[in-house]
Structures are given as C-alpha cells and as structure tokens.
Amino acid sequence: MAASVERPQTIQTMIDGVERYNPENAEVLEEYLAGQCKNGEYDLMANLALLKLYQFNPQLSKIPVIINVLAKSLTAIPKPDYNLCMYLLTDYVDVDEVKRLTHLQQLLEQSRYAEFWNAFEKDKDLVKDIAGFEDAIRQVIALVVSMSFQTIAASVLESYFALKGDAFKQFCEKQQWQLNGTTVSIPINKDNEAKTVVVRESIKFEQLTKVIGYSNEM
C-alpha cells in the first residue's frame, strides 16, 4: 500500500478553509501530486482538494493529472479512496482512461486478481508516472489474503500476485509466509482466525405465556 505522507504546512493551508477554493493553488497541488507519484507517498485529502478545484474550474482540468490521482487511489484499496475521487469526477466517467482504470478498480475490489493482472498488462500506460505501482498493488492483495486465509494453494497465490519462481518465494518470505511445497501457510492473526460464534435467544416471560396460551387454544 502507498505510504502516508506528512503534509507540508503550505499544502495544509491550501486545503483548509476558504483557501481550498482558490484556483491559483491548482498548480502547486499538481506538483505535490507529482512528488507523491515519484516518491511512493500518498495524500488523499490533498488530491481530493485538487479534484475539487477541477470541479469548480473545469478549464484547469488535466486528464493526465486526474489519471494519476485515480491510479494512486488504487494503491489504498480496500479503503474507498477511488470512489471518493470519482464522486468529484462525474463529468469524466466516460473518458477512456477513466473507464479503463475503473475496470481495474472493480477487479481489485472483487478480488479477481488474476483477471486484474491480465487486464493490467494492456493498461500499464495508465500508471507510467506511478513509481512502485505494481509492488503497492501486491501489498494491497497481500493484505486481503492475510485477512482471509491461513493456508492457500501456492499456484493460486502465484496467479494473485503474477509472480513465479524465485520472485514468488522472495515475496512470501517478505510477508513472513511459509511456502510448503504446493501450499502457503499464513500466520494466524485477528482477521483470519476462526472464531466461535455463540447465538443466544432472549424470550421474555410475557412472550412465552402468549405462545403457551395460543397453543392451548388450538
């Protein structure tokens, strides 16, 4: 996942209060986004402020910048950042690049990871400005896997991460997952641990007497 960034005070001032509506801030926020793309950092609130400026000042909008904002938000899944961005981009839903990124987002949200990588092969141009994008997406997938499984077939995981051989082994080691032949063991955590569910039904005495009375009348 993308690393959160300590927001500079100048940017904080721009996204606070009435300054967030100053169109002269767009260029600075665009440069700040470019830094996020280059350094693997991520600042959702600043990026939303930029999209808000585009919404109020359509003449300032730049499709490549919008695509970079959306691509960065993919690295924050399962957080709803992508959808938050799209709420401010209703005029761009039919733009080809946006439609292609939205398709990738849907595949990730639906955990259709093998399909995601197949589609991504044709759409790599969309994230050409995003350093470490593939690694960030693999961390997104790893988070979901670690929350969902204790053991899983190695072949399935290979398709999830689009990795094979030594690259796959190294990735598992980095996640502290144990590769045992054809299966991968994932350490137990609070999310993937089996939990006992106890169901208790509470019936008031008044309800019980009504049921008994009704049965006597039958």
pLDDT band at 33 (very low <50, low <70, confident <90, very high): very high
pLDDT at 16: 87
- At residue 212, does pLDDT exceed 60? no
pLDDT, tens digit (0-9, with 9 covering 90-100), for 81-136: 999 999 999 999 999 999 999 999 999 999 999 999 999 999 999 999 999 999 99
- At residue 208, does pLDDT exceed 70? no
pLDDT band at 19 (very low <50, low <70, confident <90, very high): confident
| Mean pLDDT estimate for the chain | 90
The share of the chain scoring above pLDDT 90, in percent, equals: 78
pLDDT at 20: 87
Q: What is the C-alpha separation between 52 and 93, in angstroms, rounded?
A: 16
pLDDT at 126: 97
pLDDT at 156: 97
